[in-house]
Amino acid sequence: MKFIQPDFYEAFRCTAGACAHNCCLGWEVDVDPDTASFYEGLEGALGEKMRRCMTVSPDGSRCFAMTGEGRCPFLDADNLCEIYSALGHDALCDVCREHPRFYREFPGRTERGLGLACEEVCRLLESGDRLTLVTVDDGADDGLTDRERDDADFYDEFCDFRADLFREIFDGGRSLRDTLGKAVVMTADWSLEQPLAARPFEEIARRYAATEPIDREWEQQAARLVSAARPHLPGPAYDAHYKKVFAYLIFRHLSRGFFDGRYAEVMRFCVEAVLYLRLWDGATLRETGALTADDLRESVRRWSQQVEYSAENTDALTYGE
pLDDT at 198: 96
pLDDT at 60: 84
pLDDT at 242: 98
Instruction: Name the residue among 51, 94, 102 with its Cα closest to residue 73.
Output: 51
How many Å apart are CA 25 and CA 274, to the nearest integer? 26
> Contact at 8 Å (CB) between 304 and 274?
no
> Contact at 8 Å (CB) between 223 and 209?
yes
Segment 45-70 mean pLDDT: 89
pLDDT in tens, 291-309: 999 999 999 999 999 999 9
pLDDT in tens, 73-118: 998 888 889 999 999 989 999 988 898 999 999 999 999 999 999 9
Q: Per-domain residue ranges for the chain?
A: 24-98, 141-319
Distances (CA, A) of 281 to 35, 46, 292: 41, 44, 10
How many Å apart are CA 212 and CA 161, to the nearest integer? 33
pLDDT in tens, 236-265: 999 999 999 999 999 999 999 999 999 999
Q: What percent of the chain is helix, strand and coil (3-state, nearest 5)? A: 60, 10, 30
To the question of pTM greater than 0.85 for the whole model, the response is yes
pLDDT grade for 269, boundaries at 50, 70 and 90: very high
How many Å apart are CA 119 and CA 19, to the nearest integer? 8
148's CB contacts (< 8 A; 6+ apart) are 107, 108, 142
Helix (H, G, I), strand (E, B) or coil at 6: strand
Sheet with 2-6, side-by-side order of all strands = 101-106, 109-114, 2-6, 133-137
Give the whole-number percent of the chain exceeding pLDDT 70.
Answer: 100
> Contact at 8 Å (CB) between 24 and 130?
no
